Amino acid sequence: METSKQSVTRSLSVTDWLRENILSGALGPGERLQEVRLSEHLGVSRTPVRAALHSLAAAGLVDYAPNRGYMVRDFPIPEMIDAYEIRGALEGLAARFAAERGLTRDQETALEAALAKGDKALAEAALLGPDFMVQFRDVNVVIHDTVLEAARNRMLAEMIRISYEKPRVSNRIIVTLEIRELERRHEEHHRIYEAIMARDPVRAENIMREHVAGVKLAMVRSLRAKSAQSGQTAPA
């Protein structure tokens, strides 16, 4: 197995390996995932490979046809852009639930710490250098995960996780690089926190939805930049 960490079972290891390779793009859309080939490549039998493929098919990362096997699913750009709308609707709902149900002491502390860390990172952006992006990414993850936890709904959490686990849609990735954008984004984090603390569900939902819409726009811009770039080298 080429992954560093070993999961409890081989099936889970293979699942992780496949997921990572699909999300990173190492396994491209349309690529057939044949059981024997994979099992030889990974040094396990067909059984855990089959289990992993089953899981990924249910998670929507690979397509399955009876008696024909699995292939990496196609993720059209328009659908990935839509995915941000879906994320926005779901995370908006999470913010609403959080505002309705309130935060635990720990969640409140975690959010405040994350907000403060973000403020600090933005203030020191210049001297932090490459570490800055790492820190800001962590802040982002903590804030969104905590709001989701505060929503207290397993099904919602699973759906948001599914919407994350697609190429190019993770909140683990900060698309934009402009500091101005990040400042606005973090300002929104503050406002989401305030709305939840004020127990204002409607406002919490609206801000969160707008927040994700902002991320979507940044991603669309970055995609356009990329396609313009590749357009120069390969116009077809």
Going by C-alpha positions, the residue among 54, 68, 47, 66 that lies closest to residue 19 is 54
Query: What distances in angstroms separate CA 225 from CA 24, 80, 185, 217, one per listed residue?
Result: 20, 16, 21, 12
Contacting its own copies (CB under 8 A), which of 89, 125, 128, 197? Answer: 89
Contacting DNA (CB under 7 A), which of 36, 58, 123, 134? Answer: 36
Determine if 5 is a binding residue for its own copies (CB under 8 A). no
Going by C-alpha positions, the residue among 2, 89, 76, 67 that lies closest to residue 38 is 2
Strand order in the sheet with 62-65: 32-33, 69-72, 62-65
Least distance in Å: CB of 20 to DNA?
18
Partner from its own copies, DNA, none contacting 93, C-beta within 5 to 8 A by type? its own copies
DSSP 150: H
Which tokens is 104 given? 């635990």
Least distance in Å: CB of 189 to its own copies?
21
- In degrees, rounded to 5, the angle at the alpha carbon of residue 162 between the alpha carbons of residues 119 and 61 is 125
Partner from DNA, its own copies, none contacting 155, C-beta within 5 to 8 A by type? its own copies
Stretch that binds DNA, among 2-10, 79-87, 209-217, 220-228 (CB under 7 A): 2-10
Determine if 34 is a binding residue for DNA (CB under 7 A). yes
- Alpha-carbon span 113 to 20, nearest angstrom: 30
| Contacts with its own copies, residue ranges (CB under 8 A) | 8-9, 12, 50-51, 54-55, 57-60, 66-67, 79, 82-83, 85-86, 89-90, 92-93, 97, 153-156, 158-159, 162-163, 166
Interface residue list for DNA (CB under 7 A) = 8-11, 32-36, 44-48, 50-51, 66-70
